[in-house]
Structure 1
């Protein structure tokens, strides 16, 4: 038996014993962090067994600008998913530097179109790429097809207008906190804000004894203590720092996302049932009053269950040195697997 076969067998055995206890004990959707709790396990197994990706060779080696991009690219290259036979590939990966100008990206796609047959078969619909800030709308045909057809993997949060829901994927940030703490939640709400940016909400909450508001803690251990000692963690979407949302889940601090519109680029939005693991509060003139009302109700009615489901879901945000079932890398691969069904145009003989 080959080394790869042994690795796959061990992985599948590990997966059978590593399913979330919430998923195993609560088959009903409302008691699971997953959108499709009955199908995620068999779909994941099929992904791990059969998924194949063809990686185009870049013209030169280059670094990515964000740690999550670098980790994903490295994990992908070291995994068993890549194939040297493009005819066996479900998807095609187009690697290019994060700071590559749009004109150069257009030239890259043009070369793929003219030199190889795979792009033209679906106009790029079975291709994907990494771009932390996302690709904007351009008039060049090559960029239009890349933007509208190919799967974009960008960083969370993605700038407005550069993320297409149900097609694109966002990368979860790399955690910065150490191991879990055993703190008892003693604060209703915690928020870490950049004080350079003016925020009415921050100014109003800073004098409220139920909330702990501070700028970035001096070290990761302090941040871990804050997360573990709070029932809810506040994040202002589009204007605040939302990079710690996955860490909040891991420490049992239910995320409270303050936003003035629906969020379309939440990590793993087609895997996790975000409404069951986070609270969403509309930003308005009476935001503080509404926030305290919602949290007061959630604290009594749903907090413990949301905290439990959030901890179960936090495994998907972990970037492990050696990839583990359902960690950040494999969940990203699972999302790509769900997007593998594309219309393949019939070739002309």
Structure 2
């Protein structure tokens, strides 16, 4: 009897080995603890990085530079992404590398060739990327002016169905450790065709509109970058503040009610506030931007505007005029330190608001633009802390908010 009891007792002490997912989640838990609670030896880190000419996040452009630095280093050390192989070109595994959808295409294509963060072993992945391009779907499937999105809906639904039937990973989290990325205005709508994708997954969107279901705790705002030629030639940089004679500048087509209000109040009304629907012949958009202290960035029909990044590139302080818009990388960047946010109701007072900003504050904001530029630059190949890595960091932060179990 004793031997039998001992046998029972011994069998009850058998410890089951943790699953691959449990080990992965345990590592993420340690990362959360490190980022939130523990101190990083910044004296040693600063010394090492200065020797290597590496960038150290510091200053008021960040909500918490220390936390960002720790989080970024942990991301570099451990973050792994699995890219589903299913799907054929052109609507999968590629995208546009020019025009206002540049960010979407460049990210999708970079993930195809990435060797640092991409893993080909799905059991080692922290997140799973759905490599479809909404921009390409619209190009190939949408009949202009038809208002019929059924073909796009069918592709998105079918793709997720294939993933769920072929792989175990979507089903165990209901998509919470999966992400999609889209700079097209229809990105949010396309995600809504699959309820779990809309509700649970990380959606990286240019159209980061909280009134349309964008949730900053799980979704990430994507900067809209318009590279006409696909290159950054002569785009980055601008003259110093004392060589900027124009108070504020905007040029853009009538596109949504915010721009309508802006044009009604300021078009051809004031030399200090140069607001145009169409630029005069022979006038360079980029040159006027570089002569301006402030660049007005009103939302169009959708909340995002490529003018935000254009202003940052030109070192012209962005003036965000929008409703329900979450600017890119807001969980890391302190937008109030290098940009001005003006409510739509205050458009009639724009000149007064900008004129009342003290000169020393403007100079600090303009200086910080040079500091923050690196986070919005599309490098080929990517460099540390650039826009590709900032997008990954946004996904990394949101994955840290999720805990997945085998049950």
The match for 1:254 among 273, 296, 317 is 317
Match of residue 68 from structure 1: 103
Deviations 1:191-223 (A, max 9, x none): 122157772422432221211223465999933
Change (3 A) 1:236 1:316: same
Higher helix share: 2
| 1:1-349 equivalences in 2 (<5 Å) | 17-19=53-55, 23-24=57-58, 26=59, 32-62=60-90, 63-64=94-95, 66-79=101-114, 80-98=116-134, 99=137, 101-131=152-182, 132=184, 133-136=186-189, 143-156=194-207, 161=212, 163-176=214-227, 178-182=235-239, 184-195=243-254, 199-205=260-266, 206-215=268-277, 222-239=284-301, 242-259=305-322, 261-264=323-326, 266-284=327-345, 287-288=347-348, 290-300=349-359, 302-341=361-400, 342-347=402-407
Aligned residues: 322
Change (3 A) 1:222 1:169: same
Task: Provide the secondary structure at the position in 1 that maps to 2:296.
Answer: strand
Change (3 A) 1:333 1:51: same
Change (3 A) 1:127 1:37: same
Q: Distance in 1 between the 2:133 and 2:350 partners?
A: 41
- Asked whether the equivalents of residues 234 and 258 of structure 1 are also in contact (C-alpha less than 8 Å), the reply is yes
- Asked whether the equivalents of residues 248 and 296 of structure 2 are also in contact (C-alpha less than 8 Å), the reply is yes
- Asked whether the equivalents of residues 234 and 257 of structure 1 are also in contact (C-alpha less than 8 Å), the reply is yes
Deviation of 1:54 (Å): 0.8
Change (3 A) 1:175 1:16: farther
Task: Provide the secondary structure at the position in 2 that maps to 1:58.
Answer: coil
Rg larger for: 2
- Asked whether the equivalents of residues 290 and 316 of structure 2 are also in contact (C-alpha less than 8 Å), the reply is yes
Alignment RMSD: 2.9
Deviation of 1:301 (Å): 5.0
* Structure 2 unmatched ranges of 5 or more: 1-47, 138-150, 228-233
TM value normalised by structure 1? 0.82
TM value normalised by structure 2? 0.71
* Structure 1 unmatched ranges of 5 or more: 1-11, 27-31
Deviations 1:57-113 (A, max 9, x none): 123122435221110011122222111111110100112241262233222222322
Deviations 1:122-146 (A, max 9, x none): 1110000123322338887xx1101
Deviation of 1:322 (Å): 1.7
